[in-house]
A and B are shown apart, each in its own frame.
Chain A
């Protein structure tokens, strides 16, 4: 039994403003499984629905976002949870922070700007576990922070006194204080420069290697997945179009979109011309018919316009949704 099983999940934003109703189909039929002790990467262009998927997985669904159908099943050993069914308040008590924790882009939202870092730690530990012994709590927090390679002095500073990279690492330290089974990181390094990005991701990887938990890492930068992820899922317009172990994604991708992404990656030492994808990203309020990639796909043919390709399994761990691949496999 995997740690997390997402089945045919659909989640739409339904808005109504002065009589104009829209529904944005941001997650549309996504299935995936996460196992213990792995780093799963999700990549895809901006507004393809990555953050929305994360919101559903982490149980932070708020209107206008609504789950239309599907399941998000967790198996924490002693505890089984279906995120699509549970009461949010109950979830907050039982699983959030302790079993699942969430590191967002720009960590300011988790750190209270007018309180010292240690106070934020205190608040979170108190609400989720209680602090019977203050001295022990301080010691443990200090240990935890030092184990992650952060100077313990940061605990006595205010968030604005830290650089962006340091803040992001503090947010990770905060997210891992209860040793959760799943750490979700949404674009944790997008605002950071390359050196700091490297430091932050190294830290995330070390934590994972040490405690053997699962990390779900979302970023549009494929080069990061190449260095960090064990498996990668490529999202396009609200769907996962290809999923495979990282080496396969980088050496033998099958979906035309993945192939394009890999081909166009710039690299030091390579000055050959790189093509960029033509056309505009799809509008999820009114997505293209058939295969959602067809208006931009260089290999599109008749069937792509009318029929949405089903996900097929090429290898036990390699899934692709493309008519070309399906037809070749048959």
Chain B
């Protein structure tokens, strides 16, 4: 594992950039644990100070230092993205593998569930839910909800791959080796499917962080929790641009760009690395 990491760092420019960007965002997120005050406190610093050495991201109209605020925001957005991605990936892998490999009745049942999720309008449903919960939609609940909505496309992709892998002779070898079905598809098919999973993880994280931004900007999430989205919500509430406090918007946008670019580069690099074809080239086929 370490050797892989070292090789990637040494030979892949994309990975180096991604590594740098993600380290920066993680560092920022890590700072949140050293914050001198909790993020919910307001009017601690002078208002509307532009970026300076003392306040690298400036301060906002609510008297908060944007550096510490963004540290919490990045941490929360990342947590949200990771939870969504993990939950939806697990469902997608499970549904895709089982549906593809078992076929028949199970396949039909799972795929109709899948289709229902595809046609469900996610945003309106979330808006409705947030209304019902009256701004009490916690970050983790939101992440789980998004996870529940984020799997159907990928499950289809995985299922399609498994359907063709199932016809290859090595699947039959495994069958006649006595491998039980679930184990078989995990052992034989998952390695081929992983690149798809990784490739869509980035999309999924982007999507879920973006969803959160949308809901927050509309003021439908719990706006007391700092996230990239709620930062923008507060900035708009205080008409930051009109007031010339541009750094209040610049900070979340800069952080989002660095985070998204980092994720994107990381996954395209890792994706190539674990692609079966490169893997084969690497092991010398």
Q: Which residues does A use to contact B, with CB under 8 Å?
A: 15, 17-20, 22, 285
B168 is an interface residue with CB less than 8 A from chain A:
no
Are A19 and B10 within 8 A (Cβ)? yes
CB-CB under 8 A from B281, the residues of chain A are 15, 17
Residues 34-70 of chain B: 1 if any A CB is under 8 Å from the residue's CB, otherwise 0?
Answer: 0000000000000000000000000000000000000
Secondary structure class of chain B's binding surface, majority of residues = helix
Nearest chain A CB to B6 CB, angstrom units: 10
| Max chain B C-beta neighbours (<10 A), residue from A17, A19, A20, A22 | A17
A-B contact pairs, 17 of them (CB 8 A): A15-B281, A17-B278, A17-B281, A17-B282, A18-B7, A18-B8, A18-B11, A18-B12, A18-B273, A18-B282, A19-B7, A19-B10, A19-B11, A20-B282, A20-B284, A22-B284, A285-B284
CA distance A22 to B285 in the complex (A): 11
CA distance A22 to B12 in the complex (A): 19
CA distance A168 to B12 in the complex (A): 43
CA distance A15 to B273 in the complex (A): 16
CA distance A285 to B282 in the complex (A): 14
CA distance A81 to B156 in the complex (A): 53
Task: Give chain B interface residues in 5-35, CB to chain A under 8 Å.
Answer: 7-8, 10-12
Secondary structure class of chain A's binding surface, majority of residues = strand
- For this complex, into which size category does the number of interface residues on chain B fall? 10 to 19
CB-CB under 8 A from A285, the residues of chain B are 284
Nearest chain B CB to A51 CB, angstrom units: 16
Nearest chain A CB to B208 CB, angstrom units: 32
CA distance A134 to B88 in the complex (A): 58
- Knowing that A18-B282, A285-B284 are A-B contacts, what are 13 other residue pairs whose CB atoms are under 8 Å apart, sorted by A's residue number? A15-B281, A17-B278, A17-B281, A17-B282, A18-B7, A18-B11, A18-B12, A18-B273, A19-B10, A19-B11, A20-B282, A20-B284, A22-B284
Q: Which residue of B lies closest to A22 (CB)?
A: B284
Nearest chain B CB to A19 CB, angstrom units: 5
CA distance A20 to B12 in the complex (A): 13
Q: Which residues does B use to contact A, with CB under 8 Å?
A: 7-8, 10-12, 273, 278, 281-282, 284
CA distance A17 to B278 in the complex (A): 8
CA distance A15 to B10 in the complex (A): 17
Nearest chain B CB to A107 CB, angstrom units: 23
CA distance A15 to B283 in the complex (A): 12
CA distance A113 to B116 in the complex (A): 36
Q: Which residue of A lies closest to B3 (CB)?
A: A18
Q: Which residue of A lies closest to B12 (CB)?
A: A18
CA distance A285 to B283 in the complex (A): 13
CA distance A15 to B282 in the complex (A): 10
CA distance A285 to B10 in the complex (A): 24
CB-CB under 8 A from B284, the residues of chain A are 20, 22, 285
CB-CB under 8 A from B273, the residues of chain A are 18
CA distance A285 to B284 in the complex (A): 10
Nearest chain A CB to B282 CB, angstrom units: 5
Q: Which residue of A lies closest to B7 (CB)?
A: A18
Nearest chain B CB to A181 CB, angstrom units: 36
The 6 A-B pairs of least Cβ separation, nearest first, read A18-B7, A17-B281, A17-B282, A18-B11, A19-B11, A18-B282
CA distance A22 to B8 in the complex (A): 18
CA distance A20 to B10 in the complex (A): 12
Q: Which residue of A lies closest to B280 (CB)?
A: A17
CB-CB under 8 A from B12, the residues of chain A are 18
Nearest chain B CB to A96 CB, angstrom units: 28
CA distance A300 to B184 in the complex (A): 47
Nearest chain A CB to B146 CB, angstrom units: 35
CA distance A81 to B242 in the complex (A): 74
Nearest chain B CB to A14 CB, angstrom units: 13
CA distance A292 to B185 in the complex (A): 42
| Max chain B C-beta neighbours (<10 A), residue from A18, A19, A20, A285 | A18
CB-CB under 8 A from B11, the residues of chain A are 18-19
CA distance A232 to B122 in the complex (A): 69
CA distance A285 to B7 in the complex (A): 22
CA distance A47 to B11 in the complex (A): 30
CA distance A287 to B281 in the complex (A): 20
CB-CB under 8 A from A18, the residues of chain B are 7-8, 11-12, 273, 282
Nearest chain B CB to A307 CB, angstrom units: 29
Q: Which residue of B lies closest to A24 (CB)?
A: B284
Nearest chain B CB to A50 CB, angstrom units: 19
Nearest chain B CB to A175 CB, angstrom units: 30
CB-CB under 8 A from B10, the residues of chain A are 19
CA distance A22 to B282 in the complex (A): 11
CB-CB under 8 A from A17, the residues of chain B are 278, 281-282
